[in-house]
Amino acid sequence: MNVDKQPLRIGLIGFGCVGQGFYDIVGRQPGLGLAVTRIAVKSPAKPRTLPAERFCFHADDLLADPDLDLLVEVIDDPAEAFRLVSTALRHGRRVVTANKAMLAHHLPELVALQRASGGALLYEAAVCGSIPIIRTLDSYFSHEPLQSVSGIFNGSSNYVLTRMSQQGSEYGPALAEAQAQGFAETDPSLDMGAFDPRSKAVILAAHAYGVFLHPEEVLNLGIESISAVDIARAAAQGRKVKVVAGLYRLPNGSVAALVTPQFVGPESPLYAVEQEFNGVVIAAEFAGSQFLHGRGAGGHPTGSAVLADVLALQHGFRYAYAKQSEAPETQLTEGLEVEVYLRHADAAILREALTWLQLPAGALLIDADGPQATGTVSIQVLWTWRQELRAAGVFVARLGEVRPTVAAGITPARAAELV
């Protein structure tokens, strides 16, 4: 390395968990030729690990600074992140972001801005922390048809499910432990309600299949109503409950997407993904099945993904979105069905849920652990009643993969074989 070479000058917007992790990693590796020269934060009064003079309090100052070679945005406000990132791209800047909610809602516009202005945006840290899933899909599988991309994309909910399974505890104590350990937010709704992994699935769809999905069109069901009873029932079948986000190529060539709890057996590599870890399974037409496993959150794991993007931008890397030109149709709800398990402690509420989901009253079973039901449900019906199910506290989990309905002219056995 030429010691006289000017280091890459980085403007860092945000100094929370990920920002501090990235800053620390850069500081430990001076040989990389990187320098975080300016840091913008929101609150002047908040205690921080660096001297106050290291910070400024107007992120727009960094956007306007011609001496900065690259910007890293790691704040937790999606609207402000979009304003900053889109403005930077309009000015042809190179930007790294980790804001998955912002990307999920604005990715088509951000891609168009890059192409129009010559700017560049990378966001590996936005999905599955330290796992290099976006680059893998965009580069390695850029021209290979994929049957599915599925996995555990949220470490917070996975930590809660792991603790419930290990300790036999209820949801509340397991969530409190996750919050105490820093694996869950004070307001856990985005993680436990499966909104966070839904955003990540939307981002991956652009790279796996070239399709731009809108988050609100994708079914997501969370674990807010899960009980130790559900964990025990899955265990009795030799399975575990995991929140699985999935993108699936259907027999007609279209792409389906959904995020729900699922009973997962030991035949799946996701069965062994525990604590705050994430795991992704890629089923490729020619390469076969691939499995990636790693920490899905934390300052250093996510900061390492930010660093990888910074170095990639330094060397001129851009996402290709190679499959966008031949993107398939999407089939998010209509003509699809899935076998589900449902539970609520109150038989009357569960019976009402069966009417919403068009399941027969005979599907209701009451054993020593209380009411439960299983049956095959239309994804469209699940999507229509998702808010009512959440409000009523009905726990819903998949027992199998999404498949075309029998009404579509395919037998259940053939549908399962094709998917």
218 vs 99: CA distance, rounded Å: 19
**Residues 43, 93, 324, 246: what is their CA dihedral angle, to the nearest 10 degrees?**
-20
Classified as helix, coil or strand, 4 is coil
pLDDT of res. 414: 42
Task: Return d(Cα 34, Cα 23) in angstroms, integer.
Answer: 10
Q: Are 68 and 11 in contact (CB under 8 A)?
A: yes
- Give the integer Cα–Cα distance in Å for 133 and 17: 21
Angle value at C-alpha 218, between 214 and 222, nearest 5 degrees? 130
State the Cα–Cα distance between residues 391 and 180, nearest whole angstrom: 26
pTM exceeds cut of 0.85: yes
- Give residues with Cβ within 8 angstroms of 299, minimum separation 6: 17, 18, 20, 21, 22, 24
In DSSP notation, 289-322 reads EEEEEEE-SSHHHHHHHHHHHHHHHHTT-----T
> Cα 357 to chain center, whole Å?
27
Give the pLDDT confidence of 364-374 residue by residue, as tens digits: 999 999 999 99
Element (H, E) at 262: strand 255-264
Instruction: Provide the pLDDT for residue 297.
Output: 81
pLDDT of residue 412: 46
- pLDDT tens-digit map of 81-108: 999 999 999 999 999 999 999 999 999 9
Domains identified in the chain and CATH numbers: 8-133+301-326 (3.40.50.720), 333-419 (3.30.70)
pLDDT value, residue 319:
97
Catalytic residue chosen out of the listed positions 200, 240, 242, 323: 200
- Mapped onto helix, strand or coil, the DSSP state of residue 387 is helix
Q: b/e per residue, 358-392, with b = 16+ CB within 10 A?
A: ebeeebbeeeeeebbbbbbbbbbebbebbeebbeb
**DSSP-derived 3-state class of residue 278:** strand
On whether the CB atoms of residues 419 and 403 are closer than 8 A, the answer is yes
Q: Using alpha carbons, select from 62, 126, 139 the residue that is nearest to residue 94.
A: 62
Whole-angstrom Cα distance, residue 369 to residue 131?
A: 39
> Widest CA span of the chain, in angstroms?
77
The pLDDT, as a whole number, for residue 4 is 54
Helix intervals (H) in 66-188: 78-90, 100-117, 133-135, 155-167, 171-180
Dihedral of the alpha carbons of 313, 315, 316, 320, in degrees to the nearest 10: -80
Stretches in the chain below the pLDDT threshold 70: 1-4, 406-419
* Residue 200 designated active-site: yes
